[in-house]
Chain A
Amino acid sequence: MSTHYLTRKVFKGLDSVVKLLTWIGNGAIALITLIFMIDVCGRAFLNKPLYGSNELIELTMIILGFAIAYATWTKQHVKMDILSPRLPRRTQAILTSIGSLLEFGISAVIAYEVFMKALNMLKIHEVSPFLSIPTGPAVFALSISFFVSCLTSLLQAVSPHVSEEKSEGGSAI
């Protein structure tokens, strides 16, 4: 089995996972908006704000952590882009690979530590203070996001050309 074949397989697998995470992330954004609207309308018209809305928002925000995996996959993380455009393509590719390896390392450490934390939270049945919602699964979702980011960075480090086609680039700030 050639390396190229393997990277394409990993690429396809990750692509499907990121698509799923994107839909969940989009859903989380919609849910956050909805929770706020229910809270505001309830308070304004019925004098009954949504009980535990802050908790719901904060947990949904952690699930929205999937956005990090999406940003890594679409190469939207901010870079300085000052030096590299002036360098030869080969040097640019080497720098990109070094950056991706560093990203792989940091994402792997975060994914592992957050995963262990989520496991611990599940083990001790940690719940939110007002609504008693288990908090472990949300933190677990965040570790998945970093795990996907970590695999994406590794893929970008070993085979930058495979991941070129998916880049949408650019942030909106």
Chain B
Amino acid sequence: MNPELVGAAGIGVMLVLMFLDVPVWISMASVGFVGFGIIHGFHNALNLVELLPDATIGDYMISTLVLFLLMGEFADISGLMEDAYRAANIWLGNLPGGLAMASIVGAGAFSAISGSSMACAALMGRVALPQLLNHKYDEKLATGALCAGGTLGNLIPPGVLIIFYCIMTSTSIGSLFAACIIPGIVLTLMYCIQIYIQCKRNPVLGPRAGGTTWRQKLLSMKYGAALTIVFGLVMGGIWFGTFTPSEAAAVGTVFVLIYAVIRRSVKRQNLVRAFTNTLGTTGMCFAILIGVKFFNSFIVVSGLNEALATWVTGLNVAPIIVVIVIMIVYSVLGTAMDTLSMLFLTVPIFTTMLLALKVDLIWFGVLVIIQMEFANITPPVGINLFIIGGMAKPKGIGMETVFSGVVPFCLTMLVFNAFMLAFPQIAMWLPNLLKR
């Protein structure tokens, strides 16, 4: 049988397995193993099984992922999220829709030390939702803002998806971290502007909170101090070449733990929980990475990625058109698939094609992360919607409110996406500057 045909059939079978609720890593590993066996013989497929697992998880680079996950857990214990929200509240609370803006800015600030969209949405929901509802904020705006805030979790470094992407494409973690910073800030500002316009046009949506003095504003900066130090230490360390990303993650983790100890928020129970949560997520990531390696090996021997690259380059279309088509594919997939499945399914296939078209994989990485975050808030399967929906349910807010509340934020994200496509310099300016 034609290997390329086997490759295409393999992708089809894998999608069917995924839709039948077979765990993603099993879908990828089983299709990868069987597909490899069909093309290269099962003896070679078994050799692959012998080689891949320990080589995959015993990779120095993957320790970055584990340590950033642990740092996010410690950040949760330390109360840094509450601090970020409190500071943002004092600065923005008296503006129309100020509390909703504060939840966006707070989520953005927390994202600077946590790499998880879900954690970001969940923590912000826990901290900000009661406040927003107490201040008579429109339920749609409140829940929509909290879902959107979560999208900054992976975009503002350190993001776990960024690390995954870099591992899969062998690109520099430091460069992609740098490339994501400005887009993250731009998206935060765009969300805030959108909330401001919405509330300016209809003040009932987000009433102003009480005013604050400049003295209060200046004093509130102490709440953001620890967060700024951790971010500076981690990102500065990576960019100035003082630490490798893994070392920076370890230093950040220890710093956040010390901060939590000083604040006396560390108890034996929550410390064990932090480690155990990290262990569970690590196990899930390890399994997926092993599955991806199997699937990648199969795709490579099938020659499907090469064939696709040859076909696309033969079309003689501008690379930007191909990238736009890929982004449209992501937007459509994002309404039905979760982010990890989407990332692992598509990146191995697209990478060869994009390299043939000489597309910068760092810039493409930023676009991919944005699309992953977009998928987190697009109904009906956006995970952030369910997290916030779950928290809002006891307060009598239904999923339909959350779904309609997030629509303006989805539109903002589409505009943001178009911006990033049209002006690659927004993402590439900082990594290019650091390269010099």
Which residue numbers of A lie inside 8 Å of B, CB to CB?
Answer: 22, 25-26, 29-30, 32-33, 36-37, 39-40, 54, 57-59, 61-62, 64-72, 74, 76-84, 92, 95-96, 98-99, 102-103, 105-106, 109-110, 113-114, 116-117, 138-139, 142, 146, 168, 170-173
Contact with A along B339-362 (1 / 0, CB 8 A): 111000000000000000000000
A22, B62: Cβ atoms closer than 8 Å: no
Q: Chain A at the B interface: mostly helix, strand, loop or mixed?
A: helix
Asked if B24 CB lies within 8 Å of chain A CBs, one says yes
B49, A109: Cβ atoms closer than 8 Å: yes
Nearest Cβ distance between residue B18 and chain A, in whole angstroms? 5
Q: Which residue of A lies closest to B243 (CB)?
A: A40
Asked if B130 CB lies within 8 Å of chain A CBs, one says no
Given A26-B275, A29-B70, A146-B53, are A80 and B25 neighbors across the interface (CB < 8 Å)?
no
Partner of A67, one of B20, B249, B282: B282
A-B contact count (CB 8 A): 207
B336, A82: Cβ atoms closer than 8 Å: yes
Given A79-B23, A109-B33, A172-B118, are A36 and B280 neighbors across the interface (CB < 8 Å)?
no
Q: Which residue of B lies closest to A75 (CB)?
A: B23
A80, B57: Cβ atoms closer than 8 Å: no
A142, B53: Cβ atoms closer than 8 Å: yes
A33, B26: Cβ atoms closer than 8 Å: no
Partner of A22, one of B70, B279, B285: B279
> B residues 145-198 with Cβ under 8 Å of A?
154, 160-161
Which residue numbers of B lie inside 8 Å of A, CB to CB?
Answer: 17-26, 29-30, 33, 46, 49-50, 53-54, 57-60, 62-63, 66-67, 69-70, 72, 115-119, 154, 160-161, 243, 246-247, 249-251, 253-254, 272, 275-288, 290, 336-341, 381
Given A142-B54, A173-B116, are A76 and B281 neighbors across the interface (CB < 8 Å)?
yes
Q: Which of B50, B272, B336 has the most CB of A within 10 A?
A: B50
Partner of A116, one of B22, B50, B243, B251: B50
